[in-house]
Amino acid sequence: MNAVELVKKAGVVGAGGAGFPTHVKLAAKADTVLANGAECEPLLFSDQSVMLGRAAEIVDGLKTVMKAVGAERGIICVKEKNKEAVKALEKHLTKNISLFGLGNFYPAGDEQIMVYEATGRIVPEAGIPLNVGVVVQNVATLANIARAQNGEAVTSRIVTIGGEVKNPGVHAVPVGTPVADAIARCGGPLIENCKLLLNGPMMGRLGDPQKDVVTKTTSGIFLLPAQHPLVMRLSRPLPVDIRISRGACEQCRYCTDFCPRYLQGHALQPHKIMRVINEQREPEAETVTNSFLCCECGVCDLFACPIMLSPRRIFREFKKSLGARGVRFPQQKKEYAADIHRDYRRVPKDKLLRRLDVARYEMEPVFHDAPWEVDAVNIPMQMHLGAPATPVVKTGEKVKRGQLIAEIPAGKMGANVHASIGGTVTAVNGLIRIER
């Protein structure tokens, strides 16, 4: 079985984003592979912990990807300030694998931003790094790729648990662990009235500790006070956002001036969508279709806008509506050039932390690499882009950790799913519950 088949068998998906099935990426051809160790989302220390604890596996995984896609060079992109991670990785470099130091700005971890920083190439509008000969893999994904070569399936996720939690830490949590159990394992909340934030303050979402579980793409679990400004902002209904915008937006165009995609030379201009909403008129076709260029990084609403209006949420609604009608972005062949102000409009990480009012939670926690022993897990069938996995086990069946419990549907894009603990299957209904 070749390397790509081993990755497919192990159920490896992109750990740093939406969970794109990794074996599909490895079927491509590219001249450069970037290892994404930027971890630009505030409060997260998961990837930094992986780089410190699994540096050799990251480099081994990078070599596997380079061989699979035919790449001549590999570049590990790490923030210069993460000096210990840099030292750990330097020990394993080879002549065709190097380190690239990133500044401490947001969103340094966006793959299109990273491609430009490390190679000088601009990914085209609505394109992917492969369009310019680059494959990007998160460092945690690379560690999983290395383990897949030894027959080890993805059964746990490195997760930062913090905020208003008694014992913050970075843990290897079995996939399917209820978030409520993970919080309790870290001592529970420090205060009574808390809200759950999953994956980070910029691109994360509010969740329900009683319903949400740790998946292959869960990077962070945070508790914030219920009255925290960020919680209030993320809880605000879209109609309220629109009503506030119509009365308050002054067309300062900061949302556009700081937009990472606009600064890359793309046609996205968030202030124009705000103009359309505020004036309650029919939008131009270009303004609407440009919504597909938004990466939803949150710079426009959580940093740039003086009054925290949200072009991002409007773009998100346009994308949903257009996608449901089968409309896609009309890609064009054209030359791209980064904005001349790009380097001066990066969002400083420290300033972003203060703007979000989460600086007090930005503390490097202890990394616990040994997987937790948990009593029960609820494993979703869809923790990745593509079709949900099809169960191959039944209620009452005994399973071992790492055993295949759901597989990719025939002819579909997806990812295999494995038991994250040993025990008995007690439910198969959209998710698979296993009790020890």
Tokens of 269: 């201009």
State the span(s) of the chain assigned CATH 3.10.20.600.
Answer: 155-228+357-374
pLDDT bucket at 280, cuts 50 / 70 / 90: low
Residue 6: pLDDT over 70: yes
The span from the CA of 88 to the CA of 94, in Å, is 14
pLDDT tens digits for range 115-135: 999 999 999 999 999 999 999
Least confident of 106-110, 220-224, 284-288: 284-288
What percentage of residues in the chain have a pLDDT greater than 90? 82
Tokens of 15: 């750990």
Looking at CATH, the fold of the domain delimited by 155-228+357-374 is given as Ubiquitin-like (UB roll) (3.10.20)
pLDDT bucket at 156, cuts 50 / 70 / 90: very high
State the span(s) of the chain assigned CATH 2.40.50.100.
Answer: 376-436
The pLDDT score that the predictor gives to residue 427 is 97
Buried b (16+ CB within 10 A) or exposed e, 399-428: bebbbbbbbbeeeeebbbbbbbbebebeeb
Nearest to 50 by CA among 69, 22, 76, 73: 76
Q: Averaged over 9-38, what is the pLDDT?
A: 95
Q: What CATH class has 376-436?
A: mainly beta
Residue 179: pLDDT over 90: yes
pTM assigned to the model? 0.95
**Mean per-residue pLDDT over the chain, rounded:** 94
Residue 36: pLDDT over 70: yes
The pLDDT score that the predictor gives to residue 430 is 86
pLDDT tens digits for range 294-344: 999 999 999 999 988 889 988 888 888 888 888 888 877 889 999 999 999
The pLDDT score that the predictor gives to residue 283 is 65
The pLDDT score that the predictor gives to residue 16 is 82
The CATH number of 3-148 is which of 3.40.50.11540, 3.40.720.10, 3.40.50.300, 1.10.486.10? Answer: 3.40.50.11540
The pLDDT score that the predictor gives to residue 82 is 94
Question: Which is more confident, 297 or 283?
Answer: 297
Radius of gyration of the chain (CA): 21
SS3 221: strand
State the span(s) of the chain assigned CATH 3.40.50.11540.
Answer: 3-148
